[in-house]
Structure 1
């Protein structure tokens, strides 16, 4: 007997994509639909592949529903599976447990939502399959609930559906329903369908223990392809495990090495090459880019002095690309080329040495003195602490950069005369 099933998790329907709220109204509307569009692709894939059932391993919703239409959308999509005679098994994760409506949705008869008080085992006799699972009763589930999952059913293909931070895979995720790979592997199931961790990962292959990752990346730390895992089973054994990318907007964190770059044009050319490669990898998806400039370059001081100018240039560069792409953030992490160890005897060389030797405390004292002058002229009750804190963090580096840049321009002018 041969059958297929789809494993997905962490849909976070209608979750906002963080960091892109200030873009155009048209783009904002498209981003707002990204999780829904990705879920529609999931449903279409299950139907196209003639799956027998779909497993959703928690966090279908993103905390409390922003509006009940999210629930209605989910129910409508699940009905598409029912029309194709595809069953659905789902557990409620930590975000779903916070949701007032998730446990009350009137779902079609092809759906089974696992109990939140104890683990259940649901058999599909026609396929000789048993699906085991338990929903979260509340957000903070700190005990190892997998220990209480039922024993494997002899002669059946056994699937465990678990929302968990499996040891070694937690990353930035809360340590809910903790367990270990060894524990799951020894439980006797043929496949563990995990959710909660948003990075795609196959933790074990005999038996398979899989995180499909979330369906749609939601922030700059959720980069790369996102989607679902399709499993084919033949005569009670897994014959194929395939990951399918279904994300609509993809996040990319790109680094551009500016080492040896002497002109703004050359820097933008290198940026273009890096971005075009990311666009090719993303295919027809919209791309949200965090661009990080690294390496030693003579442009370093100019970049620090006027970062907005470079942002404008990069934005103009993106506008020339055919792909749907937005700059989420520009990070400048370049450095000035290393200076020779011998002292430059020229006036500008001595000035540069003095600036380089100026201690952090001395620089900070100068800045604090100027900030005090500004503060004294501000109206009473003005809330400016965030502004002053920003100045404190940026001013030392920008002041040094400005001074060194002026010295460099002076040297260039002298050489030209």
Structure 2
């Protein structure tokens, strides 16, 4: 646990049991201490620098530190969860891997999918569930876990670029927590859909994006344990609206084509008869963009790799990315550790990007379903009776209860 608090701009300083290994070395953990097991050919302050303290970046950093690498995480926000850009809903598989404390989650067992006239199908599958989360609290918890693994995490430090890609990469940083002359052997960009790391290295950028907005309302005891999803071509063209009984709040949101205006007030009025939102205070507002174009083709270079939203690692159909963030952030860390310990590409070690590329699913069916959702009149077909409710139910079950891979 950090001794300087969540707002400390430099994060957690290394201590005797939680420290960075000497420059230019990798390490392994033995009996709670770090022991050098090999030297790099260039001297660097850190084996790995991760830009972005979201789900993907923290998963990567924690696993890399567990593998014995010296790791620094840089985050432009001043504290964990300062500005949330996700609903924070976890699928069952993600919750099992993150092991979030019970106080930070709320189990959701049922899903209702509504047509534009608010007729709905209710979906439930034995043993399957989702988790609504206190997202800011969950990120604080994961930051603490990442620090306990041996990684250093600094907040209030925007990444600006690299001074040179030769030798040990010197990073250009800004902010009150910036340190001069930080260098690394490998860099991971986990800095969101509009990645500065991708821009700095000339990697591909996310072009197909949804716009997401969400308001948190005061909770109500009768909100239940159901995830409510609305097909609404007026308010949410290209995706859906939702109402979620969350942790200490009721989350109401929209995701839609980014060139369309997001009118969450109008959507809240349309569902007010179901949830009584007009009598509740709005506690918080947030928004962001969601990549839906699939994994980017060029998401890595010599000593840099993108993960999470930065690499487009989001389901093109459901727009869910937290489970992908954990899985491929962790895989990237293992691949980077193997790559650095094996002497890099010159010694025949596979590039971490190639390891991730081979493991990442092609999402062919989901991309096809995304095309259908974008181009076929699903909502009018339901209203006109051209799409039967049995078919609609089957489609909805496939979307919500597929195994996340």
Instruction: Tell whether the structures are fold-level matches, with TM greater than 0.5.
Output: no
The structure number with the bigger radius of gyration is 1
Structure with the higher fraction of residues in helix conformation: 1
For this structure pair, what is the TM-score category when the shorter chain's length is used for normalisation? under 0.3
